[in-house]
């Protein structure tokens, strides 16, 4: 089973346990609230049922967010988790606003109500204890799995604990004759819950607009890449989050005469080192440079191999028509091109070919007229 599947399975297990607890608490609060004349406990039971609905939503979101990439979603489906976190954060804000509004409205409009009984007090206390436990259990799993969605759901579970605290104070206040304690506790808890909802929503929105990782984390990532032998500089470093994973893009500078295969292997080594040191990296894209192009904002126009080989072939036909077998290596160095000419062997009439030193001088002189040409070096076996 893949790591993603294990993560999905564990997240669903945690959420289902919370859903079962929410269902039991919801029924207990409503039934005891009706029997004990506690409107606050009945409302708290409805709140527990709202937690139950969000638990089911988390299970569904995790199912879709951890599906494998497809043609329509080549980067995967992790954004579903982020969108779910935004929704849950908004739910927290809405719950906080409703708690504060209802408490203040009740203070100004309510008349005398029946005094709740001791069973209501006991259920409120059990709700606080059980919801605090499920909050800690879910939060630990969310941090372990690096899932903002699970963390958001953990805080949503804690709002039920907070609302039970409000109920507990309300029942105690009503039984002691101090009904205003219920209002004060509700407003304080609502403000705290609203702040949590705002933080979760805002962080997820920043992720949706591809906000960079924190500066300290970026520094650690860049230093890890720069430790790889053969890398002289790292620039154009870009980072973002997608769900619980970090996506990175960077330009890696290597030696000017480094071969394409060596440069690519150096880049692969940097990626392997990142994956070994940081377990939250999902994908890394790197571009190999042979010079620092960080300050450039334009694209130079340099010829490609076909045009260069045509120009070289024209000159070879003039100065060494018998030389047919050679290999051309090109080095693009900033705005100029260096050419390496590797001669395999001469034709049968190779005695007609000029010495290599003479040929090198002739080709370098004739190619100097080309604006992109730097120099040519000849190697032979």
Which is nearest to 172 in space by CA: 213, 118, 215, 133? 118
Average pLDDT along the chain: 79
| pLDDT of 349 | 45
231 in Cβ contact with 252 (< 8 Å): yes
Q: Span 64-88, mean pLDDT?
A: 67
Q: Other CB atoms closer than 10 Å to residue 286's CB: what's the count?
A: 22
What is the 8-class DSSP label of residue 371? T
32 in Cβ contact with 39 (< 8 Å): no
| pLDDT of 348 | 42
Which is nearest to 99 in space by CA: 176, 4, 167? 167
| pLDDT of 344 | 74
Q: Span 74-91, mean pLDDT?
A: 72
Ordered by where they begin, the domains of the chain are: 3-208 (1.20.1510.10), 215-289 (3.30.70.1350), 305-380 (3.30.70.1350)
| pLDDT of 354 | 75
In terms of C-beta density within 10 A (0-12 exposed, 13-18 middle, 19 or more buried), how is residue 148 classed?
A: buried
**Residue 280 or 220, more confident:** 220
pLDDT digit string, tens, across residues 106-150:
667 765 555 666 787 788 888 888 888 888 988 888 888 777 767
pLDDT digit string, tens, across residues 331-376:
988 788 999 999 876 444 455 567 888 999 999 999 999 999 999 9
**Residue 326 or 66, more confident:** 326
- How does residue 329 score in pLDDT terms, banded at 50, 70 and 90? very high
Task: Please state whether the predicted TM-score (pTM) of the whole model is above 0.85.
Answer: no
**Residue 119 or 221, more confident:** 221
Compute the residue count for the chain. Answer: 381
| pLDDT of 95 | 76
**Ranges 5-9, 145-149, 309-313, most confident:** 309-313
| pLDDT of 7 | 64
| pLDDT of 1 | 46
Q: Span 230-238, mean pLDDT?
A: 91
């Amino acid at each position: 089973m893949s790591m993603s599947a294990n993560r999905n399975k564990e997240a669903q297990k945690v959420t289902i346990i919370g859903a079962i607890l929410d269902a039991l608490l919801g029924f207990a609060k409503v039934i005891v609230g009706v029997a004990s004349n506690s409107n606050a406990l009945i409302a708290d039971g409805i709140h527990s049922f709202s937690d139950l609905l969000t638990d089911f939503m988390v299970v569904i979101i995790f199912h879709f967010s951890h599906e494998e990439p497809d043609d329509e979603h080549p980067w995967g489906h992790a954004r579903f988790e982020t969108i779910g976190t935004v929704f849950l954060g908004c739910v927290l804000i809405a719950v906080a606003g409703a708690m504060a509004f209802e408490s203040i409205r009740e203070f100004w409009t309510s008349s005398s109500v029946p005094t709740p009984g001791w069973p209501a007090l006991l259920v409120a206390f059990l709700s606080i204890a059980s919801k605090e436990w499920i909050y800690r259990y879910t939060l630990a799993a969310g941090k372990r799995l690096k899932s903002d969605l699970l963390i958001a759901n953990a805080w949503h579970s804690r709002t039920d604990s907070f609302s039970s605290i409000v109920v507990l104070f309300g029942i105690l206040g009503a039984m002691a004759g101090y009904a205003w304690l219920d209002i004060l506790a509700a407003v304080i808890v609502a403000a705290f819950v609203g702040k949590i909802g705002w933080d979760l929503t805002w962080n997820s929105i920043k992720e949706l607009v591809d906000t960079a990782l924190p500066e300290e984390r970026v520094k650690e990532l860049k230093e890890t890449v720069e430790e790889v032998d053969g890398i002289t500089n790292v620039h154009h470093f870009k980072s973002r989050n997608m769900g619980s994973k970090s996506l990175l893009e960077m330009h890696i500078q290597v030696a000017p005469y480094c071969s394409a295969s060596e440069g690519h292997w150096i880049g692969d080594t940097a990626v392997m080192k990142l994956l070994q040191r940081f377990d939250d990296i999902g994908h890394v894209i790197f571009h190999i440079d042979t010079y620092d192009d960080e300050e450039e904002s334009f694209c130079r126009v340099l010829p490609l191999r076909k045009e260069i080989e045509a120009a070289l072939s024209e000159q070879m036909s003039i100065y060494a028509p018998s030389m047919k077998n050679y290999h051309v290596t090109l080095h693009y160095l900033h705005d100029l091109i260096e050419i390496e000419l590797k001669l395999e062997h001469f034709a049968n009439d190779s005695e007609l070919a000029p010495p290599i030193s003479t040929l090198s001088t002739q080709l370098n002189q004739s190619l100097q007229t080309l604006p992109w040409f730097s120099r040519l070096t000849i190697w032979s076996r």
